[in-house]
Amino acid sequence: MNKCILLIAVLIVSLAFTAGAVAANKVVEVEGNSVLSREDAIRQAQRSAVEQAVGVFIHSKTETENFVLKKDKIMARTQGYITRFNVLKEGKTGDLYRVMITAVVSLDKIKNDLFAMKILLDSMDRPNVMILIEEEYIGMDNIGARFAETELYSLLAAKGFDLVDKAQMEKIRVLAQTRQALAGNMTAAKSLGLHSGVQYLILGKAVVQDIGEAYPGSGMRSLQASLQVRVIQIQTGLVLGSVVKNGVVPHISQLTGATRALQISARKAVNEYLVDTITNSFQEYLNNGAPVKLHITGVTTFQQYNLITSTIETLDRVVTSKKEGWSKAGGLLELDLRFKGTSEELAQLLDGLSLGSNHLSVVHLTPDRVDCTFQ
């Protein structure tokens, strides 16, 4: 019975690792041609495989341009990205060698290099991020130095993220909305993010505890840090997820041990969760647009309704336009858009837009809504 349970446990763990491996790799089938040699044809096929895998991360025109500028650096590492390959078929027509291969390409390695070369974040207009972490110390004095927040700030800044500057953060900390957001009020968190002009808010709590002597008679204390963080996408108000990361450090000094334990937790949170969560979300936002509500007053006929809705659907950077309702009596037309840009950029497109003998005028603007009149 115990052997059976053990076998099942091993299988479950194996499946978990297999699923992780699949998620971190891309399998592609590509052809390579060369007049030089069979080996060169294989190299050309491998380069094509890597280019296809890069396409997982590179979508927009700007991203592509940034990639092209540094393409040689990426392609020089082809062998490091391909974990294995098999030749499916090969042949020679005259002087031309043709090879078809299937290759397994490591997405993790490619993404790390794209980050290292600043291609990803440069092409994403660098999402603005705000970090708010409260700290609690158990079995020791409350240091009040915001070690976890500072470490997260430094790590994300080093990777190229745009962060709210420290002077602005000092003003934000004293707001009632900040306390409410840290207490778990997502409405307050979204409002705080909108008024601070950020796309993402990282909220969390760090708990540091002196759990006793590290080794009997050593005089060293064991400091344990637990950092819980969650990421809120501000325009949608969605919590993208949360994670808890831990760090344990033995040290003769409580302060030094606590600091290092928090640094370990912060590094894990950034490298194993935050970077992927934010960049994946922001790429989806860039490719599929952000939600923006559009309210237009003065729409008094069905003909006007049809003219406006059909025009909005064809505007540059409008991905989708969903009709939420229209009332002839009130003259209010409500649309839910997916727009590749900010509400201010949408307002610039709409203000003064001619529609028949009338035009649109923007009368009110918030980070997630544009109000217009039709006159």
pLDDT tens-digit series, residues 153-207: 999 988 888 899 888 998 999 999 999 999 999 999 999 998 888 889 999 999 9
Q: Which long-range contacts (CB under 8 A, 24 or more apart) does 175-178 make?
A: 178/132
For the chain, give the mean pLDDT: 82
Give percent above pLDDT 70 in the chain. 82
Whether residue 249 is contained in a domain is answered as: yes
Structural domain containing residue 335: 290-374
Using CA atoms, how far apart are residues 320 and 339, in angstroms rounded to an integer?
7
Instruction: From 67, 96, 122, give the residue that closes a domain.
Output: 122
Q: List alpha helices for the chain, DSSP H.
A: 2-24, 38-54, 61-69, 71-75, 78-81, 107-116, 119-123, 147-158, 166-173, 176-182, 186-196, 254-269, 275-288, 302-313, 343-350
Specify whether 115 is located in the same domain as 234.
no
Q: Are residue 31 and residue 45 in the same domain, yes or no?
A: yes
The mean-pLDDT minimum among 14-23, 69-78, 85-94, 176-185 falls in 14-23
| Mean pLDDT calculated for residue range 334-360 | 90
What confidence category does residue 55 fall into, taking pLDDT thresholds of 50, 70 and 90?
low
At 313-322, the pLDDT tens digits run 999 889 999 9
User: What digits encode the pLDDT tens for the residues 220-248?
Assistant: 889 899 999 999 998 788 899 999 999 99
At 307 the pLDDT is 95
pLDDT of residue 121: 67
Nearest-angstrom CA–CA distance, 148 and 131: 10
Q: What does the pLDDT read at residue 61?
A: 47
Nearest alpha-carbon partner for 234 in 203, 190, 274: 190
129 and 113 share a domain? no
Four-point Cα dihedral 294, 295, 300, 303, nearest 10: 10
Report the alpha-carbon distance of residue 99 to residue 101 in Å, rounded: 6
Based on the number of CB atoms within 10 Å of its own CB, is 296 exposed (0-12), middle (13-18) or buried (19 or more)?
buried
Which CA distances in Å does 255 have to 26, 70, 266? 45, 44, 16
Question: Looking at the domain assignment, is residue 7 inside a domain?
Answer: no
In a domain, 270, yes or no: yes
Count of the separate structural domains present in the chain: 3
Instruction: Specify whether 270 is located in the same domain as 132.
Output: yes
Quote the DSSP letter at residue 235.
Answer: T
Tokens 């299988």 — which residue? 11
Strand order in the sheet with 25-34: 25-34, 96-106, 82-93
Is there a single domain that holds both residue 135 and residue 281? yes
pLDDT at 118 over 70: no
